[in-house]
Structure 1
């Protein structure tokens, strides 16, 4: 059995893979167990990593650092890529409020930590270390130690304080979410309330009775108003017409119009009369309405169409079809001329059967192509994200520059590519299953390596005289601000619980807690709010850590 023992006792590539894989396998398996209806999910990997480090399992430091960096950068980049298409819409509507709530958690936690200094006798540098660990923010620790080096002061105890409080800092946010859910969350708060409406389209039927539009073409009518709409069908004297831009509207025509819900009343004024019929149900068989007109969903798989404006394609003129709606992920978009198509979009095409066939070939509609994730573009995005995170940013009054780091850079790059990739003709599409797999793999790798590092000295440090005090204070710094601000945000601003969890996890730079939230809650609101507040929260904490050392530790 010496060969088996050597795999765990010597630092080899095979042994490293076995140890990390074993930690992940055991952690994921135990994470499925429920105690009183609660399971930790991927978070359990972290605890198994601590236990493995405590019993003496180890991995070559270079390999460990690589796996941890790779896992975290993959997780946050793919998370940014996933929420990118929705992020700017949420920022326009709720982004400022989300970041203000996140900033409240940061400020309350910082003030609370400073208030504990005179009562506990802990030095300010050590308290900054506790704050960095309690908020799981290693870039902030880096900024603090750099500031101490500039002042010529030792930083070993600061790093040790962070190491001791980091594990419970990770767990503390989960405990805070459990506490809030148990004591303050109503059943209605568990229902996902998207930050932005996922359906930006509304279908209605109108009768042309406004003399102002009589005998005018559709393009002329469109020029009469700033509102956006698509007329997908016209019924005239028992016949159905697939309209094009120069189709003339006659008095008494029955029009099927795709617009937005908020413009419904204005459309009544424009066209004349609305038919009382619900066209927005999920069970409507569009092809059964007219035997001569077909409605078909085509998938954009031609790479040349990525980033092209829909109006540039001249589909009405070339193929005699209308595109009424575009489904992007879970969001339904109005197919206006200025809408940029993205690879993987699902477009609803309306027209005669032969015309729709031609349009289908034009879009590609190769579902099989979409089954292959764009691995190359994902790794290119990670490279760009890491380069972005390495850029030094010099702030006035600060001796050393700060950086977004291996977490901040990739998540921002993922958001940029996910939201703006088509404008740069960058194909960022990947399958939902592949995206979830890469996020889960990256987070599990990160937590396994993080646990191994923390477990080596964790228990030895805790039994030191100041160890338990540090752990207790760190847990308070984690739990108190998140619970206080989380409860207020939940009830004052009427956010759903998933959104509040995302704010808490993002403000504390805690991807493991986000993994727990995603495992136990429905919808993507936690991920969206996390991505909205994470960059700013992390940046502010790095600045605060450096400022506290530079101006208060002298």
Structure 2
């Protein structure tokens, strides 16, 4: 825990645009472990537990996005998987030419692509502590060079014939309008596509919540919620913008953000809650983490979400009871669902699969919980079991698991790292890591452009391919474009699985 604490302190120190985050525990662990080999002994269970918790939480959070984007982002995902195959073959050929063993080659590949789960798989597949040495020297190379590659590309304006236009990162806004003519809701731009929501309706001086099935009449005053461009198009179509905000009048209709803490509500879509029939109201927005989402009918609500509900004033208390609205309850984790999920993941990871050529591999504690977490994260709930974990709790468990894993790896690999870091072998590892990152960046970003994808999506995809949040954060700081995060989400989980399989094949072939 001392290594965890010191590692967290090192991780927040900025080195230019780079912060190592949880990887600071790895570097402190290496330094402390080098003092006495006994410090790294007997930590296997702690290491596996930390890793399983980390990847399971990643899977739970990424599952829905991964499967939802599977069809639309298949070209980008195929590109990422193909590049990993190319650089894995390159790492083996160059590593052998440099005289490196299997542990160093696999660990360097995992480090250059900043994949902690792949490090665990590399250690297990090669049976060598040198995988941690290769990882620790390749990791900073991977982070720094990847950020430099993204900085060159992310603002480029190349042709993107197969990419959707950006919404310019517009925040969700509310605009009031007076209707000029009779208008069916289905004719309002953005209504059928659910790019907008409507809540407040003033008709003949009476304020209420707009019912989804009714039509608008002349002189109606309605509140439209959506991105600035979508809301503006709807307002221009309907009539005359109002200078007065309809939400200023809260005598008959009121609104409030409620915390989703009721287990029976979490895991269900906005449409399944049927708020118009239940309370005569509507959900317009959902706050999840730092993101404000439009409440589309198919949006699945999660514990910890903050929904903005517009309801008749006398229904406000009932709505709060329905959603739960308890900060204390939302901080609690369903231990039954968590325990079952991680257990299923570890069981899947323990299955050994044989492929032609006598190669044996398994998903292990690195990929088994990840795959199961992704599936359960997409399913959301099974009967009374809600697989989702509140966003804040997910991030906390993920961080703790990662710190425990990296600290134990550092302690176990410290003596070997100290003996090689300033040697010719250390220089060869850095050279190999540099080659892996440079080739990855050139092939991936060039391939994304040839596929007709935008520079922001390509940059986000590359950040997901490398699997480093610091690169994503750097790209988002340079451009306000939602395609950056979409590309990252499409490749993050897939990249982890592909890297795990790659290092396992390397271990099977070279040992």
Q: TM-score range by the shorter chain?
A: 0.7 to 0.9
Please, what is the CA RMSD of the aligned residues? 4.5
Q: Deviations over 1:203-251 (max 9, x none)?
A: 564726357x4xxxx7x999xx964465423332333333335656445
> What secondary structure is seen at the aligned counterpart in 1 of 2:294?
strand
Q: 1:173 aligns with which of 132, 136, 142?
A: 142
> What secondary structure is seen at the aligned counterpart in 1 of 2:455?
coil
Shift of 1:386: 1.5
Matched residues in 1 for 2:264 and 2:331: separation? 19
Q: Could you say which residue in structure 1 is the equivalent of 2:294?
A: 333
Q: Could you say which residue in structure 1 is the equivalent of 2:431?
A: 476
Shift of 1:436: 3.1
> What secondary structure is seen at the aligned counterpart in 2 of 1:343?
coil
Q: Could you say which residue in structure 2 is the equivalent of 1:232?
A: 199
Matched residues in 2 for 1:266 and 1:25: separation? 52
Q: 1:54 aligns with which of 14, 19, 34?
A: 34
The TM-score with structure 1 as length reference comes to 0.70
Shift of 1:58: 1.8
Q: Work out whether residues 461 and 488 of structure 2, in 8 Å CA contact, stay in contact via their aligned partners in 1.
A: no
Change (3 A) 1:128 1:255: same
Q: Deviations over 1:480-528 (max 9, x none)?
A: 121243256568551379736633533xxxxxxx376589787894974
Change (3 A) 1:382 1:517: farther
Matched residues in 2 for 1:422 and 1:196: separation? 31
Matched residues in 1 for 2:8 and 2:488: separation? 20
Q: Could you say which residue in structure 2 is the equivalent of 1:23?
A: 3
Matched residues in 1 for 2:224 and 2:465: separation? 42
Q: Could you say which residue in structure 2 is the equivalent of 1:134?
A: 108
Q: Work out whether residues 113 and 127 of structure 1, in 8 Å CA contact, stay in contact via their aligned partners in 2.
A: no
Matched residues in 2 for 1:500 and 1:273: separation? 37
Matched residues in 1 for 2:242 and 2:107: separation? 55
- Larger Cα Rg: Structure 1 or Structure 2? 1
Change (3 A) 1:331 1:186: closer
Shift of 1:295: 1.8
> What secondary structure is seen at the aligned counterpart in 1 of 2:237?
strand
Shift of 1:112: 5.3
Shift of 1:344: 3.1
Aligned residues: 480
Q: 2:220 aligns with which of 238, 247, 253?
A: 253
Change (3 A) 1:102 1:198: farther
Q: 1:320 aligns with which of 276, 280, 297?
A: 280
Matched residues in 2 for 1:503 and 1:227: separation? 28
Change (3 A) 1:163 1:265: closer
Shift of 1:533: 3.0
Change (3 A) 1:367 1:278: farther
Change (3 A) 1:299 1:188: farther
Matched residues in 1 for 2:234 and 2:54: separation? 45
Matched residues in 2 for 1:195 and 1:93: separation? 15
Q: Work out whether residues 230 and 257 of structure 1, in 8 Å CA contact, stay in contact via their aligned partners in 2.
A: yes
Q: Could you say which residue in structure 2 is the equivalent of 1:450?
A: 409
The TM-score with structure 2 as length reference comes to 0.76
Q: Work out whether residues 301 and 343 of structure 1, in 8 Å CA contact, stay in contact via their aligned partners in 2.
A: yes
Change (3 A) 1:201 1:41: closer
Change (3 A) 1:520 1:247: closer
Change (3 A) 1:468 1:425: farther
Q: Work out whether residues 344 and 429 of structure 1, in 8 Å CA contact, stay in contact via their aligned partners in 2.
A: no
Q: Could you say which residue in structure 2 is the equivalent of 1:419?
A: 378
Q: Could you say which residue in structure 2 is the equivalent of 1:209?
A: 181
Q: Deviations over 1:270-326 (max 9, x none)?
A: xx93235499xxxx9763145422122223322222334544544333432233333
Q: Deviations over 1:412-460 (max 9, x none)?
A: 2333333322365533454544333322222221122111221223344
Q: Work out whether residues 201 and 258 of structure 1, in 8 Å CA contact, stay in contact via their aligned partners in 2.
A: yes
Matched residues in 2 for 1:459 and 1:245: separation? 67
> What secondary structure is seen at the aligned counterpart in 2 of 1:296?
strand
Q: 1:107 aligns with which of 79, 82, 86?
A: 86
